[in-house]
Structure 1
C-alpha cells in the first residue's frame, strides 16, 4: 500500500517557511545599520556627491559655507544598549557618515582639483591621494533615542584654524525643526516642522558632536583656508583677488576617472535614491498636513525669494572671518582635550589585566 503525502501539510509548511523568510528580511532591513559593511556603504553613498554628474554648477558658494546638511536616520535594535536606548558608542558611527556627506558636498570642486592636478598648482603638492583625516571627536548627550525612533543629523562647518576644520553635528528629533529652504541639493521633499510644542529649539536635540578633521594630499596637510578658496567657499582676502582668480583657471589634465566609470558607480545609489524619494512622497501625502504658517519666518521660500535672499545675504571675507572667530571660541575647548595624552601613566602600578571576548 502506497502512502500519499497530505497536500495540506505541504502548504502549511510552505506558508511557515515564507513567514520565517519575510520575518528574517524584515529584521535585516530594520537593522541594516548594524550589519557588516553597512557603515562602508553609508560612507560610499556620501562619496557620490563628489561625482561631476551630481555636482551643482552654481555651488556651493560662500553663502552656503556654514549651512547644515541634514541626514535622516533612526535607531535600530542592534544599536540599543541594556537600557533599550541608542548606545553612546553608535553615535560616533553616525558622525562619520554625516561628516563624509557634508565634506563631499561642500568640497567637491576642491577634491576634483586636488585629485586630478599633476602639478603643484594651488595645492602645492601633487603626489598621493586626497583624503580627510579625523583628529578628534567629542559628543555631548542630552536625551535618549528610543528603538526605531527617527532622528536627523544637522551637520555644518563650525570654524577652522591653520590646520584643522571643525565640524558640529546635532542629533535632532525628526521633523521637529524645518530649514528655511534647501539651497544646494535639488529634489528635496520638505517635511513640515512644528515649533509650537517646544519651549526652545534645544528641546529637540538628542546629542551634539564636535569633530576636528584635516584635508591631506598624500602625507602633506592642505591648509583649510586655501582649500576653502579652491572649493569656491571662501572669498579671497583683500588684495588677493587677481592672484587666486588666475590660479583657479589653471587647466587640469585628463580626468583620472571617466564619466562612464562614475555613472556605473552611481547606478545602485540612484536606484536607492529614487526609492527613498517615492517613499518620502507617499508618506508626505498620507501624513496629516501641518500648519505651514510661521511667525518666525521659517516658511519655505520660492525661487524668486531665494534669489533675493542670496543677494541680500552676501558673505564677504570679513563676514566669514567674524563667524569663524565666533566658532573658534567653542572649537578651542576641543583642542584642550589634546592635553589628555599627558595624563597617560605608563610606568605606574595597575589593577590587573582582563581580556575581551575577542
Structure 2
C-alpha cells in the first residue's frame, strides 16, 4: 500500500474507516451514474458526438482520455483504494506457507502523460505504479490478518511487552522505497509489476517489485488461484534461462511497511500468522519474546532446499531476503547527514 494508513512516527489513520467510506462513496457514485445512463439515448448521443459541430476536438479529447486513464486526476486514488477494497471484500482462499514468497502480478502500461522529454516513462512515475502493485500484493496476502488485528481489543491477539492488550486503530504506513532503473519503457508500452514479500524483521515488512516488459512474456509455472486468468487456465512454465529472465527486468524496487495499533508497533509476524501464512515454529515461536530469535536460532545446513515449507524453510527464505533488505534499511542513516546548510547553500530556485 502507498502510505494509505498514515505515516511512520505520527498518528495513523484508520483503514477500517477509510475503506468503507471510500467504498460507500464509490458505490453511490456508480449507482447515480447508472441511473442517469439508463435515460440516455446512446445511439443519438454517439451520432451527435461523432458528427456534430466541434466533433474533431471531442474525438481528439476522447482519444487523449482513453490513452491517459491512469494519469487522470483521481486515477491514483481509484487504483490504490480499488485494490484495497477488492481484497478486503473478496478474501482469498487459504494459501500454503510457500505462497508467502510468491509474486503477485499487476499489469499496466506507459501512458503518454507519464512520458518525459526523453520519450520514455518518467522515473518519478514508477513510484505511483509501485503504490498499486504493493497494495495488490499486501492486501491479497494479509487482508485476513488485517481484519483480525484491527479487532485486537476484542480478539486480544497483540500485547505490549507488559502483557497489556494493544489498543488503537490499525495503521499501515510506508517507511521507505528505493528503485533501481535498468531499461527505459517507451510510450504505450505494456509492462507487469511482479511483487512479493522479501523479508521482515522486528519492525518492518520488506517487499520487492520487478518491472517486467513486455507484458505477458514471462509466466509462472503455476498460479495459486488469485486471479481471473488463473481460473481460466492461463498457466505456462517458464522455459527461459536466468539471463533471459533478467533481461526482461526494466527496474527493481524495494519498499518497507510498518504496522501500527495506535502508536504501538505491531511485529509483522502477528499479521502473517493471522493471515495463515506462517507454519508453527516450535519452542521460541516467531517472536521469541525480547530476544532476537531470528539471529539466535541456528538453521541446519540446506534449510533453504527443504522440500516441505516448514518453519526452517520459511526462516531460511526470510534470511536470504534480509541480506538485501539490510542494505536497503541502511538508507535511514542518510537522515543524519542533513546539516541545514550550515556551511551555506546554492540558492532558492523557482519554479518548484
Matches within 5 A, 1:1-358: 14-15=51-52, 17-52=54-89, 54-57=90-93, 59-119=94-154, 121-124=156-159, 125=165, 127-173=167-213, 174-188=215-229, 190=234, 199-239=243-283, 314-346=308-340, 347-357=342-352
Shift of 1:24: 1.4
Mapped to 2, the partners of 1:136 and 1:326 lie a distance apart of 20
How much has 1:12 moved relative to structure 2? 12
TM-score for the superposition, normalised by structure 2: 0.72
Deviations 1:168-203 (A, max 9, x none): 000001112111111031421538687569952110
**In structure 2, distance between residues paired with 1:90 and 1:204:** 19
Contact 1:123 1:227 in 2 (8 A): no
Structure-1-length-normalised TM-score: 0.71
Shift of 1:88: 0.5
Q: Which segments of 5 or more consecutive residues in structure 1 lack a partner in the other structure?
A: 1-10, 242-311
Structure 1: 4+ residue segments shifted above 4 A: 191-199
Per the alignment, do residues 176 and 13 of structure 1 end up closer, same or farther by CA in structure 2, a change over 3 Å counting? closer
Q: Tell me, in whole angstroms, the C-alpha distance in 2 between the residues paired with 1:13 and 1:72.
A: 32
- Quick one: structure 1 residues 50 and 353, their matched pair in 2 at CA, closer, same or farther if it must change by over 3 Å? same
Partner of 2:292 in structure 1?
none
User: Compared with structure 1, are the counterparts of its residues 80 and 238 closer, same or farther at alpha carbon in structure 2 (3 Å cutoff)?
Assistant: same
Give the deviation of 1:13 after TM superposition.
9.5
Instruction: Structure 2 unaligned segments of length 5 or more: list them.
Output: 1-47, 160-164, 286-305
Contact 1:157 1:166 in 2 (8 A): yes
Segment drifting more, 20-29 vs 224-233: 20-29
Q: 1:197 to 1:314 in 2, by over 3 A?
A: closer
SS of aligned partner of 2:138: helix
Larger-Rg structure: 1
Instruction: Tell me, yes or no, if the aligned pair for 1:154 and 1:171 is still in contact at 8 Å.
Output: yes
* CA pair 148-101 structure 1, distance change in 2 beyond 3 A: same
Structure 2 contact 220–238 (Cα < 8 Å) conserved: no
Q: What's the RMSD between the two structures over aligned residues?
A: 2.6
